[in-house]
Amino acid sequence: MAPLLDVEELQVVYPGPKNLWGRSRNSVHAVNGVSLTVLPGEALGLVGESGCGKTTLGRAILRLIRASSGRVLFQGEDWLRLSSSELRGRRRHAQMIFQDPNSSLNPRRTVGASIGEALEIHRLADGRAGRRTRIRELLTSVGLPEDSEGRYPHEFSGGQRQRIGIARALAVEPKLIVCDEPVSALDVSVQAQIVNLLQELKRARQLAYLFISHDLAVVEHLCGRIAVMYLGRLVEVGPSREVCRSPAHPYTQALVSAVPQMHADGVPRLHLRGDPPSPVNPPSGCPFHPRCPVAEARCRTELPLLRSIGPNRQVACHLAV
Amino acid sequence: MSLLEIENLQIDFRSGDGWVRAVDGVSFHIDSGETLCLVGESGCGKSVTALSIARLLPTPPARYSGGEIRFDGRDVLRMASAELLQLRGKSVGYVFQDPGTSLNPVIRVGAQVKESLAQRDRALATDAEVVRRLAGVGIPAPELRARDYPHQLSGGMQQRIMIAMALATEPRLLIADEPTTALDVTIQAQILELLVELKQRLGMAMLLITHNLGVARSVADRVAVMYAGQLVESSPASQLVGSPRHPYTRALIRSVPELGQTGSRLEGIPGTVPGLGRWPTGCRFAPRCVQVRPDCSTREPDWLETAPDQGVRCPYTNV
C-alpha cells in the first residue's frame, strides 16, 4: 500500500540568538533528519520526552512551522514545495488536534461558528441549512449534545472542549490528523473517553493519525506502530506491541522500564542517569551515549543510523541486535 | 497515636456571595514512617487537604469550617502562630508540583537551601552542609550546582533542590503534591526512587498526592481515593489495585491503559468530574456510576470500615 504520508530526511533548525554582526550562532536542530511513513488508516505513535522535537516534527509536517530541508510527501506530493494557495486547497486533508483545548478554541465564537468556518472555507456544505445539519452531525459523532452549536467554549468541560477540537478537525473530512498530546491535559477518567473516541473515529472513517504523546501506555493502546524520538532523531520504530515488550534501543528500554505500573510492586527500576542533553549542544556520536548504560567507544564518535532489525522494525543503535 | 490524624475535616472557599465546600468530612491518619497516597482527579480536594495540614491555605478565601487536624497529638487548627511556625519550619516539609515556580528565580539555589537549613538550626547553615544536602538528593557536582540559579537547572534537578529544601529541616512528615507530574517519565522514575530511598533512610512519613495510580501503587503503603471532596475508598496499595471495592476506584483503574495490555477498549467513566459546589445529592458518584441503584441519588452513603485502616463509601460493594 502506498503511504499516505512519507516524510524524508526532515530537518527543522531554529536559529539561535544573533550576535553583534547579525550572525546567528548556537542554532538548534530540533528535528534532525527524520524519515517516517504513515499508511492510510494507520495510527503511528510518536513518543519522546519534552524537548525531543516531537511537537516540532508534527507541526513541520503540516507546514505550521517551516522545515529547513527534507520532503513531506502527502499522497505523493511534496507539501514543502507547494505555494501557499496550493497548500490552502490541500489543508483539509491533514488536520491537527492540540493539547490544550482551552487555548486552541476561540473563546468569543460559538462552537457552531468555530466548526462552521472550516466548512465555509472549503465549501463543504450547501448553504446555511446544509452547514447547520453538518455541524449537528459532527457534534453528535464526537458525543456532544446537538444543541452545543450555539454555546461558547467556556460552557464546556475540558474533555468536552477536546471533543469540540476533534469535531472541528473532522469537519473537513481529513485523511490524516496530527494529534499533539490530545489527552495529556485531561483527567484520567475523561482521558479514556477521548482515547476511545479517537479509536472509534479512526475505524469508522479510515483516519490515519500521527499521535504525539509522552505517555507510552496511551500510545501502545491506540497506535499500531510506535516511533521513539530522542534529541531530534528517531531511535526506534516498530509495531507497538513489540517495541513495548522487547524494546531494542537502550533509550526505549529505559522509557518502558520507567513507566510506573499499577499491577507491579515497587518503584520502577531505571538504570538511566542524568537529564536529556541540550539540543543546542548535542553530544558527538550517538546522541544518547552520555546516558546510555551500555555505550562503547565507537558510540562516542560514530552516529548510528536507523537500520532494519526485523520486519517493520528499525533501530538506531550500534549494539542492538 | 498516629503522627498525623485528620478527622472529619471540612474546608470551604468563598465564592461570590457564599461559600462552597471543597473538602467535606475527610478523615485519615498517617503513622510514623508510613507512606499514604491521596489519589483523585482534579477538583476532588486532594491538594486542599494537603495544604491544610500545615494550615497553608489563606483564610479567606478559605475557611476551616469543621473537623480536626492533629499533628503529633497537637491540634493544628488551634495552634498559636509561634507553634504553627515551628510546625511549618521543622515538622512538616512540602514539595510541590512545579519546581520552576516554587523556587526563587533570583537567588542561587545553594542560598535557598541554606535558608531552609537555618530554619532548623543556624549552626547548620554552612556551605559545607548545603553541598552535603545537595549530594544527598543525588545532584552531581553539588559544589558547582549550589552556585546556579534555578533557571540553569533542568526540571528534575530543580525538583531535587525542592526536596533538599523540604528535607533541610528534617521533617517528620514530607508532603509531596504531584511531585513528578511536571517531569518526564525517566526523570519521574528517578525522583520517585529518591523519595522512597530518603524516606527509608530518614525514617519519615510521607503523604504523596497524585492522580497517577501507577505512581501510587509503586510508592505507597496505603492509598486513599478521593472524589468530590470525600474519601471514597482507602486500603493497602496492593489491595486497592488488585481488588478495588468502590465503583469509582474500579472505573478509574480500568480507565488507565497499562503497558502490555493492548487491544481492549478502555472503560472510561461517563460524564465529567463535578465542579466545586455542584456536587450531586446522595452519592456524589451516582450520576457516573455504572452500578447505580435507585436509592443512590437520594441517600448519602456512609463510610463503612471493612477492616482496620480500610474502608469504602458505598453500601453495594459486594455486587
Give B208-246 pLDDT, tens digit per residue: 999 888 889 889 999 999 999 999 999 998 888 888 999
The values of phi and psi at residue A158, to 5°, are -55, -45
CB B156 within 8 A of CB A272: no
B154: which chain A residues are within 8 Å (Cβ-Cβ)? Answer: 275
B269: which chain A residues are within 8 Å (Cβ-Cβ)? Answer: 189-190, 192-193
Residues 6 or more apart from B144 whose CB is under 8 A from it? none
DSSP assigned state of A302: S
- CA distances B22 to B143, B179, B272, B282, Å, are 44, 22, 17, 17
Dump pLDDT digits (tens) for A223-253: 999 999 999 999 999 999 999 999 999 999 9
Q: What is the mean pLDDT of residues B264-277?
A: 80
> What's the pLDDT band for A269 if we cut at 50, 70, 90?
low
Per-residue pLDDT, B15: 84
Instruction: Reduce the DSSP state of residue A89 to 3 states and report it.
Output: helix
> What string of DSSP letters covers A237-279?
EEEHHHHHHS--SHHHHHHHHHSPPTTS-SSPP----S-PPPT
Q: Which chain B residues in 54-113 lie under 8 Å from chain A, judged by CB atoms? A: none
Query: How many CB atoms are located within 10 Å of the residue A263 CB?
Result: 14
Buried b / exposed e across A6-36, counting CB within 10 Å, b at 16+? bbeebbbbbeeeeeeeeeeeeebbbbbbbbb
> What's the pLDDT band for B319 if we cut at 50, 70, 90?
very low
Q: What is the mean pLDDT of residues A151-161?
A: 87
Q: What is the mean pLDDT of residues A135-143?
A: 90
Q: Which chain B residues in 189-248 lie under 8 Å from chain A, judged by CB atoms? A: 189-190, 192-193, 196, 211-215, 217-219, 238, 241-242
Residues 6 or more apart from A265 whose CB is under 8 A from it? B218, B238
> What's the pLDDT band for B317 if we cut at 50, 70, 90?
confident
Per-residue pLDDT, A270: 62
Q: What is the mean pLDDT of residues A65-79?
A: 94
| CA angle A71–A75–A80, rounded 5-degree value | 30
Smallest CA–CA distance, residue B247 to chain A, in Å, is: 13
Smallest CA–CA distance, residue B178 to chain A, in Å, is: 14
> What's the pLDDT band for B35 if we cut at 50, 70, 90?
very high
The values of phi and psi at residue A239, to 5°, are -60, 140
Radius of gyration of chain A (CA): 21
Percent of chain A with pLDDT over 90: 58
CB B204 within 8 A of CB B284: no
B254: which chain A residues are within 8 Å (Cβ-Cβ)? Answer: 192
Per-residue pLDDT, A266: 64
Output the pTM of the full model.
0.86
Please say if the pLDDT value at position B185 is more than 90: no
Q: What is the mean pLDDT of residues A241-266?
A: 87
Q: What is the mean pLDDT of residues B242-269?
A: 84
Per-residue pLDDT, A268: 65
**Residue listed under C-alpha cell 456544505:** A125
- CA distances A226 to A40, A84, A223, A239, A252, Å, are 16, 31, 7, 6, 11
HEC readout, B175-208: EEECCCCCCCHHHHHHHHHHHHHHHHHHCCEEEE
Dump pLDDT digits (tens) for B287-316: 999 889 988 989 899 999 888 889 999 998
Smallest CA–CA distance, residue B186 to chain A, in Å, is: 5
Dump pLDDT digits (tens) for A175-202: 999 999 998 888 888 888 899 999 999 9
State whether B219 and A275 contact (CB < 8 Å).
Answer: no
Under 8 Å CB pairs connecting chains A and B tally to 141
Per-residue pLDDT, B266: 83
B156: which chain A residues are within 8 Å (Cβ-Cβ)? Answer: 275
Instruction: Reduce the DSSP state of residue A23 to 3 states and report it.
Output: coil
Q: To probe the interface with A, which of B35, B42, B185 has the most A CB atoms within 10 Å?
A: B185
Please say if the pLDDT value at position B159 is more than 50: yes
